[in-house]
Amino acid sequence: MAGLGPADATLIPPLVSQRLETGRWWLRTARHPAAGEVNAAGSFDGFYDTSDTFDRTYERIVEALIAEAVEHGEVGYVVPGSPLVLERAVELLAAAADRGEIVLEVLPAMSFLDLAWAALRVDPVTVGVRLVDGHRFAVEAAGQRGPLLVAHTHSNEVLSDIKLAVLDELAADPGGEVWVLSHLGLPTQALTPTTWAELDRGDPPDHLTSLWVPTLASPVAASLQALAEVLVASDSGPLGDADGRWRHSPETWRLAADRVDAALTGLDIAGGDGIDELEASLGAALGEVGRIGRRAERQGWFNLADVAAEAALRSK
């Protein structure tokens, strides 16, 4: 695996340039200013157009690369920026290497992060910047107030999803400031301030676009974050009883489940009667789930975020 750097050919590391002169190489995408420097066997741009999800795109890339390595003995994979920053396929290849399925060599390169810090005049360590994948903004930015640097913001659809995740909060400020970073390191570099309301209404973004979010009026997924904070404050008793058994109330859990069942049974879909009770009953059930998750977190097993991730995985 090798990185092309974040801009044109002037930022390709010498070692990478040398290695690209020989061997069989595949580009993750040909939509990059330095892609023309690679005598590539092809690119995986078509996978983005024919896969249902981004996760499936990267799974297909890994499958194709491993098949190429089996057929040719060795294959190279070239990505924009650094192969070690926000490259899901690289994570999957590293996991395959850990399982002993492939032998993996990584040739690092500069990522877009260095150009962003220079353009913004920000020390990311001092101000505590969090790097977020735009495809997973609602999850990765949950509970955060900024500053955030958001990558993979290459389309208006992605920008719209990010905008909705922010403005979905009651205390959100549509006029809040967000910066669009374009073509960092190139003559066309631009840092453009805008607002959340206008984010997806400006010039169309491309694969060299990212976002800088100095601060958020209300954190993303603020309600779930508030639940977690309430649970931290309220649940501080012992985890188990004198016999070492998990401390819980089966009756409370059953009552919560029965309340949801009753609310669903009494719901009038056509007229809308019973919606408030359904919302309240689901909230009570979620509170019980959160309480168990909080106790598991205190034990070091898992937390509410892990439960949510498991739910998302099993809902696919």
Tens digit of each residue's pLDDT (9 = 90 or more) over 275-290? 888 888 888 888 888 7
The dotted CATH code for 113-213 is 3.30.950.10
Residue with tokens 């601060």: 215
Higher-pLDDT residue of 14 and 140 is: 14
Q: Is the pLDDT of residue 214 over 90?
A: yes
Sheet holding 25-27, edge to edge: 2-3, 76-79, 25-27, 42-43
Mean pLDDT of all residues in 69-84: 90
Sign of CA dihedral 255, 260, 264, 268: positive
Most confident range, picked from 133-142, 215-224, 245-254:
133-142
Whole-number pLDDT of residue 286 = 82
Whole-number pLDDT of residue 216 = 83
Which is nearest to 263 in space by CA: 255, 253, 249, 311? 255
Give strand pairing partners of 42.
Answer: 26
Under DSSP, the state recorded for 142 is B
Q: Is the pLDDT of residue 55 over 90?
A: no
Evaluate whether 75 touches 65 at the Cβ level (below 8 Å): yes
Residue with tokens 């309340």: 259
Which is nearest to 228 in space by CA: 158, 286, 186, 279? 286
Whole-number pLDDT of residue 51 = 85
Whole-number pLDDT of residue 120 = 94
Higher-pLDDT residue of 138 and 235 is: 138
Whole-number pLDDT of residue 233 = 61
Query: pLDDT tens digit string along 216-250?
Result: 877 666 566 566 666 656 665 565 555 556 666 67
Q: Is the pLDDT of residue 93 over 80?
A: yes
Whole-number pLDDT of residue 153 = 92
Whole-number pLDDT of residue 246 = 61
Query: What CATH superfamily classification does 2-110 receive?
Result: Tetrapyrrole methylase, N-terminal domain (3.40.1010.10)
Q: Is the pLDDT of residue 266 over 70?
A: yes
Higher-pLDDT residue of 131 and 312 is: 131
Higher-pLDDT residue of 222 and 134 is: 134
Mean pLDDT of all residues in 81-95: 87
Whole-number pLDDT of residue 113 = 93
Whole-number pLDDT of residue 166 = 84
Mean pLDDT of all residues in 243-260: 73
**303 φ, ψ to 5°?**
-130, -175
Q: Is the pLDDT of residue 303 over 60?
A: yes
Evaluate whether 260 touches 271 at the Cβ level (below 8 Å): no
Whole-number pLDDT of residue 122 = 92
Q: Cα separation of 151 and 128, whole Å?
A: 17
- Measured at the CA of 214, the angle between CA 210 and CA 217, to 5 degrees, comes to 120
Mean pLDDT of all residues in 142-165: 88
Name the residue ranges covered by the structural domains of the chain. Answer: 2-110, 113-213, 222-314
The dotted CATH code for 222-314 is 1.10.287
Whole-number pLDDT of residue 222 = 54
Which is nearest to 196 in space by CA: 169, 173, 224? 173
